[in-house]
Amino acid sequence: MGLSEHFPALIIAVFLAAAFLSPLIYRWARYLSAAYLVATLVAAFGMVIALLIQVQQGGPVYYHMGGWPPPWGIEFKADPLRLYVLLVVIGVSLWVFIYALRDLQHELKKALIGWYYTLFAVLVGSMAGIALTNDLFNLFVLMEICAISACAIISIKEDRECLEASFKYLIMSAMGTGCFLLGVVMLYMVTGYLNYSFMQAELVEAFNYYPRNIFTAAALFIVAFGTKAALFPLHVWLPDAHASAPSPSSAMLSGVVIKIYAFGLFLMFYEVFPPELLRTIPLNEIVLWLASLGALFGSVYAMLQSDLKKMLAFSSIGQIAYIFMGIGFHHDLAMVGGFYHLMVHAVTKAMLFMAAGVIIYSTGIRKIEDLAGIGRVLPVTMIAFSIGSASMVGLPGTGGLISKWFLALSALEIGRPIFVLVILASSLLNAVYYMPIVINAFMHHNEFGNNFKPVPRVMKICMIVGMIFVVISGFYTTPVVNLLEQAAELFF
């Protein structure tokens, strides 16, 4: 079919179309607007699956925007790894959006809900673009779109905390973008190309003549992507931003937005830079050590929090560190583990934020110490929270164990068992702050009679879907692991 050739571009285009049409439709027919965005998300998901099937059989698909070949035109590349990340992004976005349909009416002003749909569509479209693009400047543009829409879905709530948090996020993100752009300039100076494939071919030679340029560019990329993905010392914007945002925004941000930047760093290190760079100067060591510190400190900070969403946000810092460890080990099993964790953590953290959102929707409680006994009035929610916590700790039977398995195995394979200790220590610290919430929720008695709103069925179904996915991903790992192992062979 003629249309299927254009799927890579269509995936992004439908979201941009939805972004433009949403406010118009919202003025005239409210329900239609939400349904339209859901339909867009489903259509995009279907397109990704169709592309995945095509790519599994035929090899990577290169799409030239406007028919102009690279290096003059912009190129999109669809290969199994990118499509896997895309699947995770669009799948989680669809799921969070269905949850958001009921939750937004409670959190935002009525007139803004239509604009939220716009921002959501732009966010998902830009993330899809980041996953698919093969051109550095296109990546810059899409990263900026993603940054603006991510900040906007925080500040759309329009209360004091979220405005300040959103501004902080924007400034830190802009700093990251500045560094990224400088890095692109450095690379462009020595290669004259902006396309990943062409640039990598050039860099293999150019590395002999201009090592310092390339090294600087790599360092700037680490700072840029590290800031946007909350790598350890650059994570300072995350807690405020994710905690003060409306719950579906928190779920999206913690779930997929920071992951897509980690994926961006992975692509930079392995698809743009030549392999000699990482062999000569072990930049991945820096990422590895920062990630280890992040895994430990994220949990330590989380233990000190009293607000539920802030605790979950700090927990995100610790968990995204696992994905960075996967990138930092420079080993194929670690890559499998890191990417598996990308999927598992996206679903789990989105589910945890959804549970927090339900608690806030239903009882208005945000402090952890007030959560005693809430399991008796919100059983489905707290069971979802328990299973999510089990996955964060890495208990067997949940997907969290599988990703930790791969990371620990690769740590042993490269002969550095200290990182296994780091992984185990962070699991223990995770348990220390998740378990008391779960225990308190079910054990004590408390009265919530005053303003207790019953939980809408849609939200319950969303959480049950999340629970089932987390448990299944702990046992039925074969398709994903096979896909990732095949992808890993291309890089190592």
Partner 1 sequence: METLSGIIDNYYYMVAIILFVIGMYTMLTHSNLIKKVIAMNIMDASVFLMFVAVGYAHGSQAPIIREGADVFYANPLPGALILTGIVVAVSVTAYALSLVVKIYRYYETCDYDEICEIRSRE
Partner 2 sequence: MGESTVIAILITIVGFPIIMTPVIMYSCRISDKLRNILVIITSAIAFGLSLSLYPFVIGGGEIQFTLFEVLPNLEISLRLDLLSFCLAILASFIWFLCAIYSLDYMAKEHACGRYYPVFIFTLGSCQGIFFAGDLFSLFVFFELMSLIAYILVIHEETEEALKAGYKYLVMTIIGGLALFFGMIIIFEIGGTVSLGVGVIVQENSLLAFIAFICFLIGFGMKAGMFPLHVWLPDAHPVAPSPASALLSGIMLKTGAYGLIRVIFHVFSPELMQSGGWDTVMGVLAVITILLGSAVALTQSDIKRRLAYSSISQLGYVLLGLSILNENAIIGAVFHIFSHAFMKSVLFLAAGAIIWNTGKRQIADLQGIGRQMPITLGCFSIAAFAMIGIPPLNGFLSKWTLALGALDANMAIYVFVLLVSSLLNALYYLPIIIPGYFEMPGGGGAGHGHEHDQEEHHEIKFDIKEAAPLMLAVMIVLALCTFIFGLTPNNVAFNLSRLTAEYLLMGGF
State the minimum distance, in angstroms, from the CB of residue 338 to partner 2. Answer: 15
Nearest CA to 10 out of 183, 93, 118, 128 is that of 128
Give the CA count within 13 Å in the CB-facing half-sphere of 350. Answer: 37
112 contributes a contact to partner 2 by CB under 8 A: no
SS (H, E, C) 238-266: HHHHHHHCCHHHHHHHHHHHHHHHHHHHH
State the minimum distance, in angstroms, from the CB of residue 364 to partner 1. Answer: 17
Rounded Cα distance, 88 and 469, in Å:
12
427 contributes a contact to partner 2 by CB under 8 A: yes
439 contributes a contact to partner 2 by CB under 8 A: yes
Rounded Cα distance, 389 and 435, in Å:
7
Residue number, 175 or 471, with CB nearest to partner 2: 471
Question: Out of partner 2, partner 1, none, which partner does residue 396 contact, by CB within 5 to 8 A per kind?
Answer: partner 2
State the minimum distance, in angstroms, from the CB of residue 233 to partner 2. Answer: 27
- Residue ranges that bind partner 1, judged by CB under 8 A: 137, 140-141, 144, 147-148, 151-152, 155, 158, 160-161, 163-164, 166-167, 170-171, 174-175, 177-179, 181-182, 185, 188-189, 194
Q: How many CB atoms lie within 10 A of CB 426?
A: 27
Residue number, 111 or 418, with CB nearest to partner 1: 111
Please, which residues have CB within 8 angstroms of residue 285's CB and are 6 or more apart in sequence?
328
Residue number, 5 or 413, with CB nearest to partner 2: 413
Question: Out of partner 2, partner 1, none, which partner does residue 395 contact, by CB within 5 to 8 A per kind?
Answer: partner 2
State the minimum distance, in angstroms, from the CB of residue 329 to partner 1. Answer: 30
> Which of 247, 319, 362, 477 is in the footprint of partner 2 by CB under 8 A?
477
Question: Out of partner 2, partner 1, none, which partner does residue 160 contact, by CB within 5 to 8 A per kind?
Answer: partner 1
Residue number, 36 or 221, with CB nearest to partner 1: 221
Q: How far from each other are the two terminal CA atoms of the chain, in whole angstroms?
A: 35
Question: Out of partner 1, partner 2, none, which partner does residue 9 contact, by CB within 5 to 8 A per kind?
Answer: none
Length reported for the chain: 492
Using DSSP's 3-state secondary structure scheme, residue 137 falls into: helix
Rounded Cα distance, 132 and 283, in Å:
25
Taking CB under 8 A as the criterion, which residues in 379-418 touch partner 2? 393-397, 401-402, 404-405, 408-409, 412-413, 417
Q: How many CB atoms lie within 10 A of CB 244?
A: 24
Residue reference for tokens 């990943």: 196
Question: Out of partner 2, partner 1, none, which partner does residue 178 contact, by CB within 5 to 8 A per kind?
Answer: partner 1
305 contributes a contact to partner 2 by CB under 8 A: no
CA angle 105, 145, 123 (to 5 degrees): 35
> Which of 16, 163, 432, 465 is in the footprint of partner 2 by CB under 8 A?
432
DSSP secondary structure code for residue 307 in this structure: B
Residue number, 16 or 141, with CB nearest to partner 1: 141
The rounded Cα 470 to chain-centroid distance in angstroms is: 16
Please, which residues have CB within 8 angstroms of residue 257's CB and are 6 or more apart in sequence?
123, 127, 146, 150
Interface segment toward partner 2; rule CB under 8 A; list 70-78, 207-215, 299-307, 469-477: 469-477
79, amino acid identity: D
State the minimum distance, in angstroms, from the CB of residue 188 to partner 1. Answer: 6
Interface segment toward partner 2; rule CB under 8 A; list 112-120, 220-228, 266-274, 468-476: 468-476
State the minimum distance, in angstroms, from the CB of residue 230 to partner 1. Answer: 17
Using DSSP's 3-state secondary structure scheme, residue 74 falls into: coil
State the minimum distance, in angstroms, from the CB of residue 369 to partner 2. Answer: 15
The rounded Cα 176 to chain-centroid distance in angstroms is: 17
Axis crossing angle, helix 308-328 with helix 258-267, rounded to the nearest 10? 10
Instruction: Give the bridge partners for 76, in sequence order.
Output: 63, 133
Rounded Cα distance, 326 and 173, in Å:
23
Binding mask 346-385 for partner 2 (x = CB under 8 A): ----------------------------------------
Rounded Cα distance, 156 and 122, in Å:
14
61 contributes a contact to partner 2 by CB under 8 A: no
Q: Kindly list the residues in this chain that would bind partner 2 in the complex (CB under 8 A).
A: 393-397, 401-402, 404-405, 408-409, 412-413, 417, 420-421, 424, 427-428, 431-432, 435-436, 439, 443, 474-478, 481
